[in-house]
Chains A and B, each alone.
Chain A
Amino acid sequence: MTLIGWAQIALLLTLVLATAVPLGRYIAAVAEGRVRILHPIEAVLYRAAGVDPAQGMGWQRYVLAMLALNAAGFLLLYVLLRAQAWLPLNPQGLPGLSPWLAFNTAISFVTNTNWQAYSGETAMSHFSQMAGLAVQNFLSAATGIALALALTRALAAGGVQALGNFWADLVRITLYLLLPLTLLLALLLVAQGVPQTLTGAAAIEGGGAIPLGPAAFQVAIKQLGTNGGGFFGVNSAHPLENPTAIANLAQLWAILVIPFALTLTFGRMVGDRRQGWALFAVMMVFVIAGTALTYAAEAAGNPPHIAAGLNPADGNMEGKEVRHGIAMSALWAVATTGASNGSVNAMHDSFTPLGGLVPMFLIQLGEVLPGGVGSGLYGMLIFVLLAVFVAGLMVGRTPEYLGKKIQAREVKLAMLAVLVVPACVLGFSALAALLPVALASVQDAGPHGLSEILYAYSSAAGNNGSAFAGFGADTPFMNTTLGIAMLLGRYAIIVPVLAIAGSLAAKPRAPASSGSFPTHGPLFVGLLCGVILILGGLQFLPALFLGPIAEQFALLAGQTF
């Protein structure tokens, strides 16, 4: 680790902190319908859709509207990908995708996962990228934020039924938050060298070609929407997708800023900003701790490689780009997995065992640190309910959060939401570790092979999308099971979350009394960190011992496979 490495990390986190404050305030204004610059476009959409944006929806209607949009989006994307060969803007004449791959990819983009079992430059036409994948990048991100706003309104109000209007939330978040930020970031990225053109690859004199396309716009929304799906196969490690240190910093900022800002939006909307800062603090603690661990592990390097003659001061450079170096690759790995983004600027498969364990564990903790746009906030609030429940058990009082009683129904639903990811990850991984058809996808021998399986299902169920990319994911078995894991990891959490929102909205908000457990101080921040580690992480520990931890010991002993 170097001082200048830490200075870069500190600069990025300071930038996120400084911009999250005004952005959080702005998102609250958008959510409350106070931003109306593009009102004519809004009005056209509402009229065509037959929607009254002022009409509130109960939780069931809110869920149904969200599911209808996502189901329609899945079908359209599936058809576009299958029919790619007959559609325009296909300069390389690429064929349509196989049914398995189209199924997996369509689910992946609709659920905000962006797991990619294909390489963009050799599988996707410009039309598929632009009108198919990028549109879902916007809509899945707006869906997540809308759901977080619905849960926030449920906590902010007392004795109501309505959680807001899904269509109004969707339109406003897209037009006023995602679109302007995307245009700004895309412009910066083009200036730094990310292509934005409709032509195909440029041939090089003497052989080879430079892949081109409308990349910058899509790269911008993939980061801001915590989608993460690369325009090119190697994602933001590709020099055309992430060409400079400035582009790298801007993309890192884009990954983190909205999830962090949403905690502050939450604080404003519930009328107590300290509540937002407490959630912000929990997320930041994990990001900093995770970065320190990963950076230390990667900077320490690979002992057998050092014994083979590599300069020990250089750290583990396998799978990393020279322009980004160890510090910014380690920070990126933590940001992209903490935030449910899934884009990579270095290959996680080639990280040291401990350096790869941290990103995997951050996904397994439930994608709440800071989590995806919206999904991070509602996921974190689920842990908050469990934390106040645990605190209530310890002192023998009815648990309360923001003056709302947390009762059996909410706790049961919260436990359901928290158990979905571990059940998917451990269940599917155990199955895959037994089936020869699944084991054919594993690249590395030894404990690292198990890590590849675990990482794949963690990434899918956590809706992250990054991979230990040596893993051969484009098989019918993997496309199907990973697709199911993505579906469960998204909707089997969303539905209980909205059910909780519905039941909380109806409860009155009692004023805080001297007996209330304060949920904004350091004590609560510590408790919440503990609950996330224990409830979110403990069930993964045995599997992690068999994978990355066993591998770390093997590495220290100089054993290879």
Chain B
Amino acid sequence: MWTLLRPALVMLGGFTLLLGLIVPLGFTGIAQVLFPQAANGSLVVQDGQVVGSDLIARRLEGAAWFQPRPSGSDAGAAPSNLGPTSAALLDAVRARADGGRAVPADAATASGSGLDPHVSPANAALQAARVAAARGLPLAQLQALVERHTEGRALGLLGEPRVNVLRLNLALGAP
């Protein structure tokens, strides 16, 4: 029995020490030195205060701000996890589409994380009219701003074109 248990306990203990503590702690040190911004959550700091993360949606209430994608839950940022034939989901989509036509799908659906920092360029373009009206700014100025904040596909191929809502709102500034 001991000849069976001894290697099991030694291997488990040794690898817990190595793979659970030594290596990840050392790796954390390396990551902190090489990529301090990315390793700490890509925080966005303005006037010495953390106002959010480049990677996490932040909702600023009001028509004068660009809005991230709808949340899937009333309780906070979360996916809805509702099925494709869910009546509750269809009602929510109808309400968000608000009788519009060819509404960008990401404007009326919750994301997988509930924290999606991006919207599609079409969604941002749609919102530009509302934001321009609320702020009394010319639409062309907003459109140009959206265009400047539109990120393309990585290497021209990977992922989808998108607009980071927090960055866009920070560029706008307070109304």
A113 at the interface (CB under 8 A from B): no
Residue of B nearest to A309 (CB): B97
Q: Among residues 222 to 253 in chain A, which have CB atoms less than 8 Å away from a CB atom of chain B?
A: 234, 237-240, 243-246, 248-249
Are the C-beta atoms of A135 and B16 separated by less than 8 Å? Answer: yes
**Complex-state Cα separation, A350 to B110, whole angstroms:** 10
**Complex-state Cα separation, A302 to B105, whole angstroms:** 10
A90 at the interface (CB under 8 A from B): no
| Proximity bits, B125-147, A CB within 8 Å = 1, else 0 | 00000000000000000000000
**Complex-state Cα separation, A561 to B19, whole angstroms:** 48
Are the C-beta atoms of B8 and A347 separated by less than 8 Å? Answer: no
Say whether, besides A244-B159, A309-B99, A347-B81, A216 and B8 are in contact (CB < 8 Å).
no
Partner of B21, one of A131, A329, A352: A131
**Complex-state Cα separation, A405 to B25, whole angstroms:** 51
Say whether, besides A197-B39, A322-B120, A248 and B159 are in contact (CB < 8 Å).
yes
B contacts with A, residue count (CB < 8 A): 90
Chain A residues in 8 Å Cβ range of B158: 8, 11, 245-246, 248-249, 328
Chain B residues in 8 Å Cβ range of A344: 112
B23 at the interface (CB under 8 A from A): yes
**Complex-state Cα separation, A170 to B162, whole angstroms:** 44
Q: Among residues 455 to 494 in chain A, which have CB atoms less than 8 Å away from a CB atom of chain B?
A: 468-470
Are the C-beta atoms of A171 and B11 separated by less than 8 Å? Answer: yes
**Complex-state Cα separation, A195 to B37, whole angstroms:** 9
| Proximity bits, B100-130, A CB within 8 Å = 1, else 0 | 1111111011111111111110100000000
Chain B residues in 8 Å Cβ range of A193: 38, 42, 54-55
Are the C-beta atoms of A183 and B27 separated by less than 8 Å? Answer: yes
Query: What is the minimal beta-carbon distance from A249 to any residue of chain B, in angstroms?
Result: 6
Residue of B nearest to A238 (CB): B113
**Complex-state Cα separation, A205 to B60, whole angstroms:** 12
**Complex-state Cα separation, A356 to B103, whole angstroms:** 24
Are the C-beta atoms of A309 and B90 separated by less than 8 Å? Answer: no
Say whether, besides A135-B20, A174-B15, A315-B105, A68 and B5 are in contact (CB < 8 Å).
yes
Query: What is the minimal beta-carbon distance from A308 to any residue of chain B, in angstroms?
Result: 4
A366 at the interface (CB under 8 A from B): no
**Complex-state Cα separation, A134 to B120, whole angstroms:** 35
Are the C-beta atoms of A322 and B162 separated by less than 8 Å? Answer: yes
Query: What is the minimal beta-carbon distance from B99 to any residue of chain A, in angstroms?
Result: 7
List the one stretch of A94-102, A151-159, A427-435, A552-560 in contact with chain B: A552-560
Say whether, besides A197-B28, A555-B84, A310 and B93 are in contact (CB < 8 Å).
yes
Are the C-beta atoms of B9 and A195 separated by less than 8 Å? Answer: no
Partner of A349, one of B7, B12, B83, B120: B83
Are the C-beta atoms of A350 and B31 separated by less than 8 Å? Answer: no
Which interface residue of A45, A72, A135, A239 has the most chain B CB atoms within 10 A?
A239
List the one stretch of A261-269, A334-342, A443-451 in contact with chain B: A443-451
**Complex-state Cα separation, A448 to B86, whole angstroms:** 9
Are the C-beta atoms of B7 and A65 separated by less than 8 Å? Answer: yes
| Proximity bits, B47-76, A CB within 8 Å = 1, else 0 | 001111111111000000000010010000
Are the C-beta atoms of B82 and A444 separated by less than 8 Å? Answer: yes
Say whether, besides A350-B81, A353-B84, A73 and B58 are in contact (CB < 8 Å).
no
Chain A residues in 8 Å Cβ range of B18: 41
Say whether, besides A64-B4, A237-B112, A443-B81, A244 and B154 are in contact (CB < 8 Å).
yes
Partner of A131, one of B16, B38, B41, B53: B16
List the one stretch of A17-25, A48-56, A538-546 in contact with chain B: A48-56
List the one stretch of A206-214, A285-293, A503-511 in contact with chain B: A206-214
**Complex-state Cα separation, A414 to B55, whole angstroms:** 48
Residue of A nearest to B120 (CB): A322
Chain B residues in 8 Å Cβ range of A522: none
Residue of B nearest to A131 (CB): B20
A contacts with B, residue count (CB < 8 A): 117
Chain B residues in 8 Å Cβ range of A51: 7
List the one stretch of A29-37, A184-192, A416-424, A512-520 in contact with chain B: A184-192
Are the C-beta atoms of B118 and A323 separated by less than 8 Å? Answer: yes
B157 at the interface (CB under 8 A from A): yes
**Complex-state Cα separation, A301 to B116, whole angstroms:** 20
**Complex-state Cα separation, A318 to B93, whole angstroms:** 9
Are the C-beta atoms of A321 and B113 separated by less than 8 Å? Answer: yes
Say whether, besides A69-B11, A311-B105, A346-B112, A196 and B157 are in contact (CB < 8 Å).
no
Are the C-beta atoms of A190 and B38 separated by less than 8 Å? Answer: yes
Partner of B90, one of A304, A325, A328, A446: A304
Chain A residues in 8 Å Cβ range of B50: 202-205, 210
Chain A residues in 8 Å Cβ range of B5: 68, 72
Are the C-beta atoms of B90 and A560 separated by less than 8 Å? Answer: yes
A138 at the interface (CB under 8 A from B): yes
Query: What is the minimal beta-carbon distance from B117 to any residue of chain A, in angstroms?
Result: 6
**Complex-state Cα separation, A11 to B159, whole angstroms:** 12
Partner of B4, one of A68, A205, A237, A301: A68
Chain B residues in 8 Å Cβ range of A324: 159-160
Partner of B15, one of A135, A312, A346, A555: A135
Are the C-beta atoms of B55 and A196 separated by less than 8 Å? Answer: no
Residue of A nearest to B123 (CB): A322
A317 at the interface (CB under 8 A from B): yes
A372 at the interface (CB under 8 A from B): no
Are the C-beta atoms of A217 and B27 separated by less than 8 Å? Answer: yes
Are the C-beta atoms of B85 and A319 separated by less than 8 Å? Answer: no
Partner of A448, one of B35, B54, B83, B162: B83
Q: Which 10 A-B pairs have the closest CB atoms?
A: A245-B159, A237-B112, A314-B105, A131-B20, A470-B81, A448-B83, A309-B97, A325-B160, A68-B8, A245-B158
Instruction: Sample 12 A-B pairs with CB under 8 A, ordered by A number.
Output: A138-B15, A191-B38, A210-B41, A217-B23, A308-B90, A310-B102, A325-B159, A350-B84, A444-B82, A448-B85, A451-B83, A551-B84
Known interface pairs A131-B20, A197-B41, A244-B159; 20 further A-B residue pairs with C-beta atoms within 8 A, sorted by A's residue number: A68-B5, A72-B9, A171-B11, A187-B30, A187-B31, A190-B38, A190-B39, A193-B55, A195-B40, A210-B56, A217-B24, A237-B111, A243-B55, A309-B108, A315-B105, A316-B84, A321-B111, A323-B116, A345-B112, A356-B84
Residues of A within 8 A of B (CB): 4, 7-8, 11, 41, 44-45, 48-51, 64-65, 68-69, 71-73, 76, 130-132, 134-135, 138-139, 167, 170-171, 174, 179, 183, 186-187, 190-199, 202-206, 208, 210, 212, 214, 216-218, 234, 237-240, 243-246, 248-249, 301-302, 304-305, 308-312, 314-325, 328-329, 344-347, 349-353, 356, 443-448, 451-452, 468-470, 551, 554-555, 559-561
